[in-house]
Amino acid sequence: MKTPIYLDYSATTPCDPRVVQRMLPFFADTFGNAASRSHAFGWTAEAAVEQARGEVAALIGAHPKEIIWTSGSTEANNLAIKGVAEMYRQKGNHLITAVTEHKAVLDPMKHLESQGFEVTWLPVDKLGHVDLDQLEAAITDRTILVSLMTANNEVGTLHPIHEIGALCKRKGTLFHSDATQAAGRFPLDVEAQHVDLLSLSAHKMYGPKGVGCLYVRRKNPRVRLVAQMDGGGHERGMRSGTLNVPGIVGMGEAARLAKAEMVRELPLLAALRDRLEARLLAALPDAVRNGDPAARLPHLANVSFPYVEGESLIMGIKELAVSSGSACTSASLEPSYVLKSLGLGDELAHSSIRFSLGRFTSEAEVDFATDRVVQEVKRLRSMSPLWEMVQEGIDLTQVRWTAH
């Protein structure tokens, strides 16, 4: 078995070889600028871009004209949130989101707060869900946007976007969803789910990095945005700049493959994830599974291993590519804000590992990975005085620690 074994598909995915093959001609042979309208090189590029637009639209149940190309989900989220805020400021200055969103939603919201907008930050329960009654109560006649992700990137919890979309439609406010983690892993239908704006990124669904898109609803209601990038008026005036034709072609092919293979792929991913969790929890019965055990992505497992520091565990399993529940900041090691929002204490949040599987993960790799994690957790615990105290039946919450 080749190591390291990649179990971090939620961070990025390898480009599917079929996607690479589709993109290759557009680097050197078919290299035209899609905005060049006066010759065949431009026409060929434009035709490829429009084909990709149709393929991405088909994945989410949209019309091709509703797809606006971006450099990825971060740009798509910024365009959706800031674009709506500026366009509809006369109607209201209130936006709603949740504390567990990706930074690419939280930071634009914080930026708008600094510009005088009012943002409601909804809490979540221990499974990662917002309270729909609380959401409804938060919407006022000044609310112009609700932004809630389809699926959480750390624990995989799925928001009930169909219900959220219906609520927003009833209340007359726009609904944006960051579906970066969900594309190809959960059925998306912007019409049935009443979504007005949706962000996607190619590299999370076996496409290339540096390309993504924003779905912008054309009717019922027609959504308008203030562009965040000016110059040339590309993409219906919402996003200027020469289009990344090879990347867009790759995203189109990735979307086509995702739509074609989802029905077969998702049960296989869920079975592998369940196998991984079952093996870990059987060997380490005190391990804690984070997020919603039912309403979640099929490929992601977030598990906390009490009395073990997540970063130490990752250092000890160099043969595995996984991610920690802690995020390294410049001066300190902070536990994940998502896990803290779910009510996990610092110790448990610090001990969490995210395993995310994908199209190229094998059962043998899952078995090897779980064996290595169990072995390393036991090794680290054997050196932990806290683990020793727990084994002796001491309740650590009742211990009074004194500094000498």
d(CA 47, CA 45): 5
- Asked if 391 contacts 308 with a C-beta cutoff of 8 angstroms, the reply is no
Catalytic status, residue 213: no
What integer pLDDT is reported at residue 268 of this predicted model? 98
Domains in the chain (CATH in brackets) are: 5-9+262-391 (3.90.1150.10), 17-258 (3.40.640.10)
Distances, alpha carbon 88 to alpha carbons 122, 127, 321, in Å? 22, 33, 44
Per annotation, catalytic residue among 15, 168, 213, 328: 328
**3-state percent helix, strand, coil for the chain, nearest multiple of 5:** 45, 15, 40
Q: Which of 249, 220, 381 shows the shortest CA–CA distance to 313?
A: 381
pTM as predicted? 0.95
DSSP 255-272: HHHHHHHHHHHHHHHHHH
Distances (CA, A) of 344 to 90, 225, 304, 338, 348: 40, 38, 10, 9, 6
* CA 377 to the chain's CA centroid: 28
132 in Cβ contact with 181 (< 8 Å):
no
pLDDT value, residue 331: 43
The pLDDT value recorded for residue 328 is 44
Q: What is the mean pLDDT of each run of 10 residues along the chain (404 residues)?
A: 95 98 97 96 97 98 98 98 98 98 98 98 98 98 98 97 98 98 97 98 98 97 96 93 98 98 97 98 95 98 92 94 65 79 90 96 98 97 82 76 66
pLDDT at position 325 is 60
Distance CA 125, CA 387 (A): 29
pLDDT at 69: 98
177 DSSP β-pair partners: 198
Nearest one of 167, 149, 145, 169 to 157, comparing CA atoms: 149
Q: What is the pLDDT of residue 346?
A: 87
CA distances to 52, 136, 137, 305 from 133, in Å:
39, 5, 6, 34
Sign of CA dihedral 304, 9, 125, 277: negative
Instruction: Look at residue 392 in the predicted model and tell me its pLDDT.
Output: 79
